[in-house]
C-alpha cells in the first residue's frame, strides 16, 4: 500500500477567524501545587476546561465518536458516588460485592442475541461468553488474539484442570515441540487494519504471516513475487482507471483471493490459522466480506485437516477436540449498527434500500462444504467479535464488549482465590460503570430507534458526498483548484476527501492521513481527511462544516 506517514500539521495556537473558541485552561491554571488549589482556582480551571471541551465536542467530525450523551448525567450521575469494580469473571459474583455484574450480564446477553449467538449458559459450550472492556476495542482485539493463540497452540481449555500444576501448561507437552507447526498459529489481517493490531501481535509475540514467512519460508510467498508483505493486501478499486490500480484507491476491504492463497500456503504447512476481519475499518469504514471469507476458507480448512484436531492432556489420559482456525471480527464500529441496517433492509416500513446488500459478520454465519465422497460439513465460522461502546453507541469514555463462545474459553494462567472468581478477562480491576452506561443506552434505544439512527447515518454520509461535490465544482471554477478526491466506500459511514487547512483540521478534529497512492511514487502523495457520520451528526453540523470549505483559504495550496 502507499506508505502512510504523518506530517506535523502546524496547527495555529488560535483559530484565525474565530478568536473566540474557548481555549483550554493554561498550564499555569492547571499546575498542581503541593498546597492544592483553592475552590476558586479549581472552579476557574474546570469551567474553562468544560467550555473548551464542549466547543470541541460540538465540532467533532473526524473520529468515530457519537457525541450524544443523552440522559447519562441525569440517569447515572448518582453512580459516581460509588466505586464499582467488576473484577474477575462477569458471570461469577466474586469477592468484591460492589459490582455491576448483573448489569454486565444483561448487556452481554443482549449482544449475544444481537449477533445471532446464544446467551451465556456455562454448561452449553455453544453459548456465548464475553466481558465488558475497561479499555476500548484495542483490549478486546488483543484478548481475541491471545485467546486464539492459546487455543490453537494447545493450551488448556477452561475446565481442563491439572490439579498438580497452577501454572499454565500445554495440553500435551510433546505436542508443542518447537518445530511442530501444528501448534504455531499464524495471524492474518489486511493492510487497512487498525494500528492496534501491530501493537497486539508484538505484546503477544504472535507472528504475522509475513514474519513467519520470512523466517520459515523465505522468498516463497505465493503472491507478490515471493516477497512476504506484512499484511494481506486490500482489494483493488473496481475502476478500470489505468493508473489507479493500487489498493490505496480501493474500497478498504480485504482482497479475499489473496487471503485464501496465503492461508492455503500456511495451512498446507500445518499451521493453525488466525484471521482478523475489519467490520467498519478505521479510515475507509469498509467491511471485510466475512461471509465470503468463511465460505471460501472452509474447504481449505477441510483439506488441511483444520476442522477437528484431537489434543491429549493429563499424561494422555484425556482428549479434547478443537478447531485449527479462528476467525475474529473487529467490529469496533460496525458491530454496533450494521445489525440494525440489516433489519432496515428487511423491513420496507423503513424505506431503506442500501446501495449494496448489508453484509453479514456475526455468530450466525454457518458455512457448508460438501467434499466429494465425504459427508457434508456445516460449521459456525466466527469465533469472536468485538465492539467499542464509545463509538456507535456513544459512551462518555472508552469501553466495549468482547464476545466468544464457551467452547473457545481457555483455562486462566492462575487462580487468584482472593478475588473469589476465575480470572477470565484481560484486566484486573474492571470498569463497573461502563456496563451501566451501555445498559442505559440500550434501554433508551429500542430497535426501531436504532434502525432509524443507522439509516440516518447512511443518509448523512450520502448528503455530505453531495455537498462536497458542490464545494469541488465551486472551487474548480472560482479558484481553479484540483479535485477534492471525494470518496465513500459503499455502506460506509465515513467520507474521505482532500485534507483542508490546518485551521479547519483543528476546528473540526478531522482525522488525516498522508499516503503515497502509487507505491514508491512521491508524485502520487495525497493528503486526505475523513468525516464520520455518526448517529449524533446532524445536517446542520454538516452544513456548518461545508460552509467553511468554501472559504478561499480552506485548503492549503497543492504542494
d(CA 489, CA 452): 21
Q: CA-CA distances (angstroms) from residue 306 to 182, 325, 550?
A: 9, 6, 57
Report the nearest approach of ligand G06 to the CB of residue 508 (Å): 14
Exposure on the CB side of residue 115, measured as CA atoms within 13 A: 34
Q: CA-CA distances (angstroms) from residue 264 to 52, 98, 259, 299, 302?
A: 53, 49, 8, 10, 11
Report the nearest approach of ligand G06 to the CB of residue 330 (Å): 5
Name beta bridge partners: 378.
368
Q: Select 138 or 409, whichever has its Cβ closest to ligand G06.
A: 138
| 496 touches 525 (CB < 8 A) | no
| 386 touches 140 (CB < 8 A) | yes
Q: Which residues sit at the interface with ligand G06, rule CB under 6 A?
A: 63-65, 135-138, 141, 194, 196, 278, 280-282, 330, 332-333, 388, 390-391, 398, 511
SS3 381: coil
| DSSP track, 37-75 | --HHHHHHHHHHHHHHHHHHHHT--SSS-----TTHHHH
Report the nearest approach of ligand G06 to the CB of residue 490 (Å): 17
Q: Select 385 or 546, whichever has its Cβ closest to ligand G06.
A: 385
Q: Select 64 or 537, whichever has its Cβ closest to ligand G06.
A: 64
Q: Select 133 or 454, whichever has its Cβ closest to ligand G06.
A: 133
Work out the number of other CB atoms within 10 angstroms of the CB of residue 538: 12
Report the nearest approach of ligand G06 to the CB of residue 532 (Å): 8
Strands (DSSP E) found in 344-396: 366-369, 377-380, 382-388
Q: Select 147 or 421, whichever has its Cβ closest to ligand G06.
A: 147
Give me 448's grid cell: 426501531
d(CA 213, CA 557): 43
Report the nearest approach of ligand G06 to the CB of residue 136 (Å): 2
d(CA 342, CA 160): 39
Q: Select 381 or 510, whichever has its Cβ closest to ligand G06.
A: 510
Q: Select 155 or 390, whichever has its Cβ closest to ligand G06.
A: 390
What Rg value do the Cα atoms of the chain yield, rounded? 25
Enumerate the H helices of 374-508 as residue ranges.
433-444, 447-478, 502-507
d(CA 146, CA 497): 36
Report the nearest approach of ligand G06 to the CB of residue 141 (Å): 6
| Closest chain position to ligand G06 (CB) | 136
Q: Select 25 or 130, whichever has its Cβ closest to ligand G06.
A: 130
Name beta bridge partners: 329.
277, 385
Report the nearest approach of ligand G06 to the CB of residue 360 (Å): 18
Report the nearest approach of ligand G06 to the CB of residue 100 (Å): 20
Residue entry with cell 440489516: 342
| DSSP track, 153-196 | TTBPBTT---TT--S--BSSGGGG-TT-GGG--EEE-BTTS-TH
Report the nearest approach of ligand G06 to the CB of residue 279 (Å): 8
Report the nearest approach of ligand G06 to the CB of residue 252 (Å): 10
Amino acid at each position: 500500500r502507499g506508505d502512510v506517514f504523518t506530517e506535523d500539521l502546524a496547527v495555529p495556537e488560535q483559530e484565525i477567524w474565530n478568536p473566540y473558541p474557548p481555549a483550554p485552561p493554561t498550564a499555569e491554571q492547571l499546575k498542581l501545587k503541593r498546597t492544592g488549589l483553592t475552590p476558586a482556582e479549581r472552579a476557574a480551571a474546570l469551567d474553562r476546561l468544560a467550555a473548551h471541551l464542549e466547543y470541541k465536542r460540538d465540532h467533532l467530525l473526524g473520529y468515530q465518536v457519537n457525541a450524544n450523551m443523552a440522559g447519562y448525567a441525569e440517569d447515572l450521575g448518582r453512580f459516581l458516588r460509588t466505586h464499582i469494580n467488576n473484577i474477575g469473571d462477569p458471570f461469577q459474583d466474586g469477592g468484591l460485592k460492589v459490582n455491576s455484574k448483573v448489569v454486565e450480564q444483561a448487556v452481554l446477553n443482549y449482544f449475544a442475541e444481537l449477533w445471532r449467538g446464544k446467551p451465556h449458559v456455562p454448561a452449553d459450550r455453544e453459548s456465548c461468553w464475553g466481558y465488558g472492556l475497561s479499555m476500548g476495542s484495542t483490549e478486546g482485539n488483543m484478548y481475541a488474539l491471545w485467546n486464539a493463540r492459546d487455543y490453537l497452540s494447545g493450551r488448556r481449555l477452561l475446565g481442563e484442570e491439572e490439579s498438580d500444576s497452577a501454572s499454565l501448561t500445554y495440553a500435551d507437552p510433546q505436542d508443542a515441540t518447537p518445530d511442530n507447526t501444528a501448534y504455531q498459529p499464524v495471524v492474518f489481517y489486511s493492510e487497512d487494519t487498525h494500528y492496534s493490531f501491530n501493537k497486539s501481535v508484538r505484546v503477544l509475540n504472535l507472528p504475522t504471516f509475513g514474519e513467519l514467512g520470512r523466517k520459515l519460508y523465505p522468498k516463497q510467498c505465493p503472491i507478490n513475487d515471493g516477497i512476504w508483505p506484512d499484511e494481506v493486501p486490500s482489494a483493488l478499486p473496481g475502476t478500470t482507471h489505468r493508473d489507479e490500480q493500487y489498493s490505496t484507491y480501493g474500497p478498504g476491504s480485504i482482497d479475499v483471493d489473496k487471503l485464501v492463497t496465503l492461508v492455503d500456503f500456511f495451512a498446507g504447512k500445518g499451521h493453525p490459522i488466525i484471521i482478523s476481519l475489519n467490520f467498519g475499518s478505521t479510515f475507509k469504514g469498509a467491511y471485510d466480506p466475512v461471509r465470503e471469507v468463511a465460505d471460501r476458507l472452509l474447504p481449505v480448512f477441510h483439506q488441511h485437516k483444520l476442522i477437528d484436531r484431537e489434543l491429549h492432556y493429563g499424561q494422555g489420559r484425556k482428549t479434547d477436540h478443537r478447531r485449527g482456525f479462528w476467525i475474529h471480527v473487529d467490529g469496533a464500529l460496525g458491530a454496533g449498527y450494521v445489525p440494525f441496517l440489516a433489519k432496515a433492509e428487511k423491513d420496507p416500513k423503513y424505506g431503506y434500500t442500501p446501495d449494496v446488500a448489508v453484509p453479514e459478520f456475526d455468530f450466525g454465519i454457518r458455512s457448508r462444504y460438501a467434499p466429494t465422497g465425504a459427508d457434508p460439513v456445516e460449521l459456525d465460522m466466527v469465533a469472536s467479535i468485538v465492539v467499542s461502546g464509545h463509538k456507535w453507541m456513544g459512551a462518555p469514555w472508552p469501553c466495549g464488549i468482547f464476545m466468544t463462545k464457551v467452547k473457545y474459553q481457555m483455562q486462566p494462567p492462575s487462580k487468584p482465590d482472593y478475588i473469589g472468581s476465575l480470572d477470565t478477562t484481560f484486566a484486573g480491576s474492571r470498569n463497573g460503570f461502563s456496563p451501566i452506561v451501555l445498559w442505559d443506552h440500550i434501554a433508551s434505544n429500542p430497535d426501531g430507534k436504532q434502525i432509524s439512527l443507522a439509516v440516518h447515518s447512511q443518509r448523512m454520509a450520502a448528503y455530505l458526498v453531495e455537498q462536497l461535490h458542490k464545494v469541488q465544482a465551486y472551487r474548480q471554477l472560482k479558484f481553479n483548484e484540483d479535485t477534492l478526491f471525494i470518496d465513500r466506500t459503499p455502506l460506509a459511514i465515513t467520507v474521505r476527501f482532500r485534507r483542508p487547512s490546518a485551521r479547519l483540521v483543528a476546528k473540526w478534529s478531522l482525522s488525516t492521513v498522508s499516503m503515497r497512492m502509487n507505491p514508491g511514487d512521491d508524485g502520487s502523495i495525497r493528503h486526505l481527511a475523513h468525516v464520520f457520520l455518526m448517529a449524533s451528526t446532524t445536517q446542520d453540523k454538516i452544513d456548518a462544516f461545508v460552509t467553511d470549505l468554501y472559504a478561499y483559504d480552506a485548503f492549503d495550496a497543492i504542494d
